[in-house]
Structures are given as C-alpha cells and as structure tokens.
Amino acid sequence: MLFTEVTMKHLTRTQNRPGSLWDFMNDFERAFDTALTDRTSGAPTMARFNPAVDVDEGDDHYLVSMDLPGVKESDIKVDVHLGQLTISGKRVQETKKENSDGRYFERSFGSFQRSFTLPQEVDSDKIEARFENGVLEVFIPKAEKAQARTIKVENAKGGLFSRLLG
C-alpha cells in the first residue's frame, strides 16, 4: 500500500524525491513484484495499483480527479478524518480465453490508497464525490472567510463584563 501526501495549497508531493527513502522503497517494491510474477504465464500474482491524480484549485473549491479504470463504484471509499482526505479501493480484473486445448483464466487484483492533507480553509462537511466513466471526482469547497468587524468599546459600568464580574 502506497501513501502519498499532497498539501493542496502548495501541491507538494512527499515521495519520489531523488535519493530519498521513497526511491529505495519503490525499487524494493518493484523487485518484490517481479519476484511474485508467475513464471509460466508472465502474469503478476500480486499487482500494484497506483492511480493517477490531478488536483485543481478554483476560487471557491479544490477538485481532486483520480483515474480509476476497471474499478467499480462500490469498491471505492472516500474518507475525511482529522484534516486528511483518504481515497482507497480495489480493482479486480479477470481474463478468460478459450482455445482448442481448453480454457485459460487469469485474475489480477490491485488495491490502492492515496491520502491528502486538507488546507484549513476547506469546509469538510460539504465535500462531495462522484464517479463516472472510470474517473472519480472529489469536490472540496473552501470555507467562507471570516468577515472583519469593528467591536464597540463599552463603558465599564455596562455590558457583559459587569454581568460576569458582578
């Protein structure tokens, strides 16, 4: 399972930096995937699935788009918790071939998880997601900005302070 963190305000990725721990882990994962390849058919016995993500910022929202070809809507989960947006799911593919010698079946499975740190100015209660034609879109509205106001300075004999302090 891969964990990528994107700060939406600055779109900073924390993986794939030259010479980083992520490079080592990606190389290790590729070697592990290669070791688990079925030597007779060349089919991977354990697939890694890392969907592409686009993050766009508008005046009043962010839009996260994720390409999920071959994924069913029921296999996608979108969570928001403690300022983190997490999109996870799985993809199951099955190939059936019939020839004169008999049938041939091939199945592959891949799971994914991508997490994003939300900026403070979003309204997490109004986040919406939709899935159409293999593309997941998550609409993240920005919260309304606090309006500046002038506070009236009252006489010490009245107002809230005199009620509190008696």
Q: Who contacts 163 (Cβ-Cβ below 8 Å, separation ≥6)?
A: none
Contact 84, 115 (CB under 8 A): yes
Q: What integer is the mean pLDDT of 36-60? A: 69
The residue ranges of every structural domain in the chain are 6-165
Instruction: Please state which architecture CATH assigns to domain 6-165.
Output: Sandwich (2.60)
What is each CA distance from 72 to 14, 77, 92, 93, 116, in whole angstroms?
A: 29, 11, 9, 11, 22
Residue 131 has pLDDT above 50, yes or no: yes
Whether 60 has a pLDDT exceeding 90, the answer reads yes
For the cut 60, the answer to whether the pLDDT of residue 13 exceeds it is: no
Q: Count of alpha carbons within 13 Å of 137, Cβ hemisphere only? A: 9
Tokens 């939300």 belong to: 118
CA distance 120 to 156: 37
Per the prediction, the chain carries an average pLDDT of 76
pLDDT at 72 over 60: yes
Q: Is the pLDDT of residue 22 over 70?
A: no
Using CA atoms of 37, 43, 48, 50 in order, give the dihedral in degrees to the nearest 10: 140
Residue 15 has pLDDT above 70, yes or no: no
What is the predicted pLDDT for the residue at 14? 42
Spatial contact of 15 and 22, defined as CB atoms under 8 Å apart:
yes
pLDDT of 46 > 50? The answer is no
Confidence of residue 151 (pLDDT cuts 50, 70, 90): confident
CA separation for the pair 30, 32 (Å, rounded): 5
Q: Is the pLDDT of residue 30 over 90?
A: no
pLDDT the model gives residue 132: 97
Query: Quick check: 138 pLDDT over 90?
Result: yes
